[in-house]
Amino acid sequence: MKNIRIAIDGPSGAGKSTIARHIAGTLGILYLDTGAMYRAVALKVLRSGISLADAAAIARMMKDTRIDVEYRDDSQHILLDGEDVSGEIRSNEVSMGASAVSAHLAVRERLVSLQQDIARRSGVVMDGRDIGTKVLPNADVKIFLVASPEVRAQRRFLELQEKGLLDKTYEALLEEIRVRDRNDSSRTHSPLLQAEDAVLLDTTGFSLKEATDAVMALIEARKD
Ligand code: DC
């Protein structure tokens, strides 16, 4: 199991990161949240005032950008040009920005290659949008995790409420999820797509614990 490579893809809010983190802990392998890398690029674009739609300027910026992933205190830290931006990349503005910058080929090529380097070093569970189709096409287990937009918005609402960070209505969160789904699924380069050999898991009626157990059962069944 130590060398297993697991790909978990799906739309935002399907529970990918919580489940993937838990599985990595249980199996003693690395967890890579690939969305955090796109978020770090978006943060740099937003800070520098470049338009999120300006593919040429963003491609130039990428030549001069360093993204590193470090593991400390049991969690993943994202370094943008040496600065730990793990907290700052969680804002709403960065979420929407990441969905936009991830459409640019120069961004994808660079980050996919970094992700593949990390997967060469050890067993890993990665979550994202293109892990099963592009980053790890030969992954040992591929899972495509979905849930209805309403349930995903509800989960996000409760999560923000719990953290004391709730600053919008449920309806506004639902609309954001729909916009990101549309962006992520309709872009030309590596759109959100279920790999042919991925198992589809719909967690709409599941608690997080039930969803995690279901993913773990799929991994157990596939490991030989
Ligand atoms: O998983 P997340 O919500 O943190 O991802 C942020 C954005 O990054 C998401 O809207 C789409 C993009 N992304 C991607 O295109 N490919 C990935 N492998 C991971 C994320």
Question: Which domains occur in the chain, in start order?
Answer: 5-215 (3.40.50.300)
- Per-residue pLDDT for 221 more than 80? yes
pTM of the model: 0.94
Q: Count CA atoms within 13 Å of residue 67 on its CB side.
A: 28
Please tell me the residue having the least CA distance from ligand 1 atom 4. Answer: 35
130 lines ligand 1 (CB under 6 A): yes
- Atom index in ligand 1 nearest the CA of residue 130 equals 18
Residues 6+ apart with CB under 8 A from 72: none
Tell which wins on pLDDT, 159 or 148.
148
- Per-residue pLDDT for 52 more than 70? yes
DSSP E strands, 73-140: 75-80, 83-84, 124-128
Average pLDDT of the chain is: 94
Tokens of 164: 């004391």
35 lines ligand 1 (CB under 6 A): yes
Split at pLDDT 50, 70, 90, the class of 188 is very high
- Atom index in ligand 1 nearest the CA of residue 180 equals 10
- Per-residue pLDDT for 170 more than 80? yes
pLDDT value of position 103: 94
pLDDT value of position 63: 96
Alpha carbon distance 134, 209 (integer Å): 28
38 lines ligand 1 (CB under 6 A): yes
pLDDT tens, residue by residue, 82-97: 999 999 999 889 999 9
Tokens of 20: 């993937």
Split at pLDDT 50, 70, 90, the class of 224 is low
pLDDT tens, residue by residue, 116-144: 999 999 999 999 999 999 999 999 999 99
Q: What is the largest CA-CA distance in the chain?
A: 50
Please tell me the residue having the least CA distance from ligand 1 atom 18. Answer: 128
Alpha carbon distance 131, 224 (integer Å): 21
- Per-residue pLDDT for 10 more than 90? yes
- Per-residue pLDDT for 2 more than 90? no
